[in-house]
């Protein structure tokens, strides 16, 4: 089913994370950061909750992702275009669609690997009590969807510019707005120029809202559709964009 081009590119992209310090820095910061935030002695901390759940953990997942996921996606295309290897790639019998998907899934797998390495958290709560495994499982699925959505946003901005830093900043900003779309400050800002019905649509685009809803242990069709649309929209936009500007 999968074309050899997809497989070759997927494998190469995934391995490339471990060819540079990027992959290791990502893993260390992500795991340390999440671990620290989960157990830090402030409000909402794991210990203060006094329950065997990963609520404190999942609360910080979006905030780790917002800086780290764009760092993974920023090089996907920007680097390739800057070095000119994009010319090498697309003179092979590889379509833009296959290449975009292969890179996206490789990056997604990498973030998935990082997330799976937080397994000691699960062991911890299992030792401490009897957690609701369904909620923990759905929390991870939800985190993966969140990462997928952010990666597709980042992939788009990486395809837009040759400069990795610009791609990073644009991705972080866009992810932040999407994440906070249902919060009063962002809504107020949008409300200054947009009509009321648009505000309602905009509010429902919030990544945070959909992330939390699934993390409560309910699979809603609307959440699944939301992620599917989000990822396809940004990925499709990347394909269109790259078809236009790959040779510039």
Partner 1 sequence: MIVVESLCKNFDDFFAVKDVSFQVGKGQVLGLLGPNGAGKSTTMRMLTGFINPTSGHAKICGHSILQEKEKAQSHIGYVPENAPLYDDMDVREFLEFIYDLRGLPREQKVSRVEEILKLCVIEDVESQKIETLSKGYKRRVSLAQALIHNPDVLILDEPTDGLDPNQKHEVRKVIKNLAKEKTIVISTHILEEVDAVCDRAIIMAQGKICFDGTPASLKAQSPTGRLDDVFRSITMQKEALC
Per CB under 8 A, residues contacting partner 1 are: 3-5, 7-9, 11-12, 16, 19-20, 83-85, 87-88, 90-95, 246-247
Tokens of 141: 């699925």
Query: Residue 21 or residue 129: which is nearer to partner 1 going by CB?
Result: 21
- Residue from 100, 95, 66, 97 nearest 80 by CA: 100
Tokens of 36: 């620290």
Query: Residue 12 or residue 216: which is nearer to partner 1 going by CB?
Result: 12
Query: Residue 232 or residue 247: which is nearer to partner 1 going by CB?
Result: 247
DSSP state of 54: S
The nearest distance, CB 151 to partner 1, in angstroms, is: 20
The nearest distance, CB 16 to partner 1, in angstroms, is: 6
CB 246 within 8 A of CB 90: yes
CB 157 within 8 A of CB 171: yes
With H, G, I as helix, E, B as strand and everything else as coil, classify residue 238: helix
The nearest distance, CB 111 to partner 1, in angstroms, is: 20
The nearest distance, CB 245 to partner 1, in angstroms, is: 11
Query: Residue 94 or residue 187: which is nearer to partner 1 going by CB?
Result: 94
């Amino acid at each position: 089913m999968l074309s050899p081009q997809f497989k070759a590119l997927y494998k190469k992209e995934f391995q490339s994370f471990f060819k540079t310090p990027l992959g290791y820095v990502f893993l260390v910061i992500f795991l340390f950061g999440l671990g620290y935030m989960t157990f830090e002695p402030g409000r909402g901390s794991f210990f203060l909750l006094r329950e065997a759940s990963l609520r404190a953990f999942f609360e910080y997942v979006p905030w780790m992702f917002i800086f780290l996921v764009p760092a993974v996606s920023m090089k996907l295309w920007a680097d390739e275009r800057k070095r000119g290897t994009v010319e090498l790639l697309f003179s092979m019998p590889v379509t833009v669609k296959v290449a975009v998907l292969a890179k996206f899934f490789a990056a997604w797998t990498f973030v998935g690997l990082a997330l799976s390495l937080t397994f000691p958290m699960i062991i911890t709560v299992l030792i401490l009590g009897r957690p609701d495994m369904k909620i923990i499982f759905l929390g991870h699925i939800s985190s993966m969807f969140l990462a997928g959505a952010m990666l597709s946003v980042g992939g788009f901005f990486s395809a837009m510019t040759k400069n990795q830093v610009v791609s990073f900043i644009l991705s972080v900003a866009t992810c932040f707005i999407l994440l906070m779309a249902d919060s009063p400050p962002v809504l107020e800002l949008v409300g200054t120029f947009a009509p009321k019905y648009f505000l309602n649509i905009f509010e429902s685009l919030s990544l945070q809202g959909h992330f939390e809803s699934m993390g409560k242990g309910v699979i809603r069709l609307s959440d699944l559709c939301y992620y599917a649309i989000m990822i396809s929209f940004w990925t499709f936009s990347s394909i269109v964009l790259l078809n236009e500007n790959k040779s510039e």
